[in-house]
Amino acid sequence: MSDRSVGFPVAARKHAWLVVLLAGVLVWILAAGVTAITQDDILVPTLFLIGSFLVPVTVVVFALARLDDCHLTSNVILLGFLAAGTVGVVVSAVTEIYLLPTGAGPVGNALGFFGVGLIEEVSKGAVLVAVAWRVRERTVHGGMVLGATVGAGFAAFESTGYAFYAYVQHTDAHPELSILQTEVSRAMLAPFGHLTWSALLGGALFAAAAPPKGGFRITPRVLWTLLGVAALHGTWDASNGWSIWLSQGLTGHGWIADWPDGTYWEGLPTQGEMWVFQGVYDGSLAIVGAVGILWVILSWRHGRAPAPASPPAPSPSVKSA
């Protein structure tokens, strides 16, 4: 996609994502206010879609402005977003239901969290490979941008499901507020979750398939990246249970020698317990997110294409006397 065909200056296209984000936030707030005032259930799906898709669509706009830099096409970007949010989410859900253990206990809970992480990362990686099969010029940067787009699609459709679940659980007690709380939380955390993990895996996959190496293949880097992002994913999902476990121990309720889960609260937690839990939970997510972002920065720098070598300067001619 050339700059002339778009009709906008390069600088304007590079910053279009910021305009989309700010305009989307304003529309989101307006939609939430109108829905709360009118109590019109017809507007609830609009609230679902705006809140769940705002950050992911912003990522897509960011990617579309960098097609030439990453040697991708708009078709690949849009197909990756939609395929991850539909096929990727559905395949992951079905696989998790039939393959992961449902029993409680340390082993069952541990396999559940990290199994979900592995299955979802494999699903997103498969979508990325499928949509990028015909991409000829594969670079680490292109794989990371496409991976982030695939992660954005997965996160958008998944967040819509969580928002709907929050609405169903609180239909009689300010459902709009519950929807907003769910969507704001997931929107703020989205760049540090699915987008980061898929970007890392996409960069590794494209590095393994970069010319002159040929097609996509499993290399040690791809395998270790997959295991690494699955571990980050599983740790992220397990942070809630671990935070409850730590909060119970730190507030004097004793330590339980078991894999933590959300059933440890007996009755309603006190305000002090909630402060401790929130601090531990936010801190654990911050650590996992920081590890992922640092990894992305290092991968991006390492994947920078080397500058083309300049031709040697011609040697000066020697005139004979």
Mean pLDDT per 10-residue segment, the chain (321 residues): 48 83 92 86 87 92 86 93 95 88 55 87 96 90 94 94 85 76 88 95 92 82 96 91 78 60 59 81 93 95 64 51 38
pLDDT value, residue 65: 87
pLDDT value for 290: 96
Name which of 28, 80, 58, 47 is nearest 191 in CA terms: 58
Confidence at residue 2, expressed as pLDDT on a 0 to 100 scale: 41
What are 32's two structure tokens?
Answer: 């939430």
**212 upstream amide cis, omega within 30 of 0:** yes
What pLDDT is recorded for position 6?
45
CB 115 within 8 A of CB 233: no
Predicted local distance difference test score (pLDDT) of residue 131:
95
Q: Residue 250 has what pLDDT? A: 77
Give how far Cα 313 sits from Cα of 260, 307, 319, 320, Å: 67, 17, 18, 22
Q: Please report the pLDDT score of residue 37 as a whole number.
A: 87
Q: What is the pLDDT of residue 227?
A: 96
Q: Residue 309 has what pLDDT?
A: 47
Q: What is the pLDDT of residue 168?
A: 84
pLDDT of residue 3: 42
